[in-house]
Structure 1
């Protein structure tokens, strides 16, 4: 057992007495077989075996591979499946109960739970209402942590003491992480010096830094529409004027892009060519080359958001980075979608001659990103741009969501994206805002098209992320179908939806 794992287990035991009762488990629950659970825990640490098993089960419950309320195998069945002593399983289950990750019911068995209850993961800014804890949240296109993330944190914790003797400020990022990010670009055919990388607290922070450095008051910035709304907010906050350029459901109209660039001559152009948020579109290599030529003619610098770039779900080869077509490109990256939003890390890759201005702009916003999270991301990137099990899970959820929409809402149109996190659905009528209101009454939260409109409109569209388990997605679509039936018949009641924050 690692020192970090022992520390984590001790922390669980020390804090359990202070936790409030998270409430009852569901009356009905799914089950996990002993053979399946034995496969999931794999080669758990056996020094001592009961604590290694408890730690492995804690990770499985914590990251959702064993769902909240799932009935665990009996002690006897799991003992046989693992070929361990009965005492090992008994003590492991006792440790789970002690730390709040399981509950025993007399005559019924042992059930997975979470310290603080099912609602422990909800952010009250996103879900502000008293009834929202049980809502099916499709407003936020961000997945839960993939398997393996907790282990990366434990490994990073063991490395942290070596860094405690320093001041802990890394305005450009920890050198090892800068090097890992640079290597990830080189692997995609884009040679990158670590000095070109600036680590930030997320891609949104990166966008704000770029806007502050190169889009002062009164300058113009071309933005796609639909577009990630917080990015446009960051650009507006820098004092820049937005120049919207429509992105059609079937792709980019590059002739319209060229016309808009000639007419407005913006300083920057904010683009999302890789599984665009929210449409899921992927810009082909030849389109990137044409777009880059239009930017050069207008003297406009591309700011390319690659937050979803690693989420290619069908094993397809990805187009070359936009910066290969346009060397002056400023590229934004993020760990939030490829790993987990709770890491709160992103980065900027920029030409050498722009790094100084970005660094100066960054220093008036913050002085660096957390050391612990940078250690975690450095370790994760050593294994590749995304964890394979994360891709598998997202692909399964995407296919389940698409099948459910096709079955329950056959009048809705969408293109199945090859990656990213969401379907961009076109409704038979421009009633997306009314649909969102009606769906909220049924416990489903969705973001209607106008949320993503840079200059209004898009009420014929709704974004549906596949970031939740398949069963939840099917339940959500069933409720959406009920809500749409009400709205389409003109029977929706007047309702003012709660203000909600869109973070992803």
Structure 2
């Protein structure tokens, strides 16, 4: 395969238990505001994409039981949502999520024009993208002589990715690399190839929310293993989970883990790699953020986890964070026979990645790191600006200084992550509640704050957040200037 280098009610819905878990700690005030709080929490999940338009909602009685509230309160919340255009109902068909104000299904509810989006940890395009596009156009002529379909990707791009792995301590040849439409696409391919309905997939907790949903999309079951926000990975706990749950696959983020920002040290990689190899547990190692080392050159960091986990390791990477998400390119690195299996299975989902985008990325990877150095400098400045702003406006938040990545994992002074995410929208800030980063919800004392925005936007976002905190806490706290607790 690739050994050579060359406005109707919906059909589906969400269960009452799943919706209750998704909403998390949704109450903001007392019992008098219960309906308003519940409606606001549902709106947040719609805005956040967790309740897609058309999703059928559970019956009132079932939802009331799952939430531990009265059916009257649920009915009042649904009425608010109907009035706001977020829910439609029809006798005999139930209720479902719909578009506000009669907008098309793809449209989002009205938002503040100056909304600062801190739900996404994705920066704008780095300097040098246009120069790479211009250079790629010159190389496109040769590709026009081919049909443009290449299941594993262009040779020049696979060669440069292989060279990067080899330089980091994981000897790789181009036949071990497949180009994909992003790292997430690569993970989904691995799920489809290696798991089936009912299989267990081991994941860190907290972890990247879309990975949890990807596991569920193939009808597999995510098995969470706690990740300590200070000490990191508990290898003994991971081995116990492997022994007890017998997962068909594991998904780990070893470098600047999303959302905690933790990086696995060399000894932990060696130990964990030995465990994974011993139990023959295939593992997808997500290296989307590995190039965003804000304290040193990525080549000076520890070798990839795959260097210790053997041929069962599948390493995925992406251009989205280091360069630009608009390229929609990623890759996976695995044993050659595994790459052949991926190529054979890929026909069911797509027929390869865009040629021009691949030429652009090949140019970016060939600039000897100049663009990445600028990206890291800008990201480091944004990180430090966000830390300073939190110290000024939210002094009772505790934050560990991450050595890389794109976000801070903040410990809040009280369990209020979901409530704060709801309130923040009214102050012009969009957040992802921490419950999204857990398999079964919770994590209400935590909040991820990305620093992918411009510094001035980050300062303004934190100022607005302090007002939202004050609203959530009924006017308690959120004021004053003090030293930020950095651990």
Fold shared, TM-score > 0.5 on shorter chain: yes
Residues 52-451 of structure 1: pairs in structure 2 closer than 5 A: 128-250=108-230, 251-315=232-296, 317-328=300-311, 329-384=313-368, 387-451=372-436
Q: Is the 8 A contact 2:239 2:275 kept in 1?
A: yes
Q: How far apart, CA to CA, are the structure 1 residues paired with 2:166 and 2:466?
A: 46
Report whether the alignment pairs 1:467 with 2:468: no
Q: Is the 8 A contact 2:277 2:310 kept in 1?
A: no
Q: CA deviation at 1:200?
A: 0.4
**Mean Cα deviation higher: 285-294 or 301-310:** 285-294
Q: CA deviation at 1:127?
A: 8.5
Q: Is the 8 A contact 1:249 1:279 kept in 2?
A: yes
- 1:16-59 Cα offsets, whole Å, 9 max, x none, are xxxxxxxxxxxxxxxxxxxxxxxxxxxxxxxxxxxxxxxxxxxx
Give secondary structure in 2 for the equivalent of 1:242.
strand
Q: How far apart, CA to CA, are the structure 1 residues paired with 2:475 and 2:209?
A: 29
Q: Is the 8 A contact 2:289 2:321 kept in 1?
A: yes
Q: CA deviation at 1:177?
A: 0.8
Q: How far apart, CA to CA, are the structure 2 residues paired with 1:196 and 1:383?
A: 23
Which blocks of at least 5 consecutive residues in structure 2 are unaligned? Answer: 1-103, 477-487
Q: Is the 8 A contact 1:261 1:294 kept in 2?
A: no
Q: CA deviation at 1:490?
A: 7.5
Q: CA deviation at 1:429?
A: 0.9
Q: How far apart, CA to CA, are the structure 2 residues paired with 1:197 and 1:147?
A: 27
**Mean Cα deviation higher: 309-318 or 416-425:** 309-318
Give secondary structure in 2 for the equivalent of 1:158.
helix
Question: What residue is the counterpart of 2:82 in the other structure?
Answer: none
Q: How far apart, CA to CA, are the structure 1 residues paired with 2:368 and 2:305?
A: 20
Q: CA deviation at 1:308?
A: 0.2
Q: How far apart, CA to CA, are the structure 1 residues paired with 2:375 and 2:308?
A: 30
Q: How far apart, CA to CA, are the structure 1 residues paired with 2:305 and 2:363?
A: 26
Q: Is the 8 A contact 1:221 1:243 kept in 2?
A: yes
- RMSD over equivalenced CA pairs, Å: 1.7
Q: CA deviation at 1:266?
A: 1.0
Q: How far apart, CA to CA, are the structure 1 residues paired with 2:112 and 2:180?
A: 31
- 1:307-343 Cα offsets, whole Å, 9 max, x none, are 0001001125311111111122100010001111001
Matched positions, count: 368
Q: How far apart, CA to CA, are the structure 1 residues paired with 2:296 and 2:280?
A: 36
Higher-RCO chain (CA-CA 8 Å, sequence separation at least 6): 2
Residues 478-489 of structure 1: pairs in structure 2 closer than 5 A: 478-489=463-474
Structure 2 CA distance for partners of 1:464 and 1:324, relative to 1, 3 Å: same
Q: How far apart, CA to CA, are the structure 1 residues paired with 2:137 and 2:278?
A: 49
Q: How far apart, CA to CA, are the structure 2 residues paired with 1:448 and 1:412?
A: 16
Q: CA deviation at 1:190?
A: 1.1
Structure 2 CA distance for partners of 1:125 and 1:223, relative to 1, 3 Å: farther
Q: CA deviation at 1:410?
A: 1.1
Q: How far apart, CA to CA, are the structure 2 residues paired with 1:125 and 1:346?
A: 29
Q: CA deviation at 1:189?
A: 1.6
- 1:87-130 Cα offsets, whole Å, 9 max, x none, are xxxxxxxxxxxxxxxxxxxxxxxxxxxxxxxxxxxxx9998233
Q: How far apart, CA to CA, are the structure 2 residues paired with 1:166 and 1:208?
A: 28
Q: CA deviation at 1:253?
A: 2.0
- 1:144-199 Cα offsets, whole Å, 9 max, x none, are 01111111112112221221121101110011111111111111121111011110
- 1:269-290 Cα offsets, whole Å, 9 max, x none, are 1000100000000000101111
Q: How far apart, CA to CA, are the structure 1 residues paired with 2:106 and 2:468?
A: 21
- 1:70-103 Cα offsets, whole Å, 9 max, x none, are xxxxxxxxxxxxxxxxxxxxxxxxxxxxxxxxxx
Q: How far apart, CA to CA, are the structure 2 residues paired with 1:355 and 1:373?
A: 21
Q: How far apart, CA to CA, are the structure 2 residues paired with 1:446 and 1:260?
A: 31
Runs (4+) of structure 1 exceeding 3 A deviation are: 124-127
Q: How far apart, CA to CA, are the structure 2 residues paired with 1:126 and 1:467?
A: 25
Q: Is the 8 A contact 1:312 1:420 kept in 2?
A: yes
Q: Is the 8 A contact 1:215 1:240 kept in 2?
A: yes
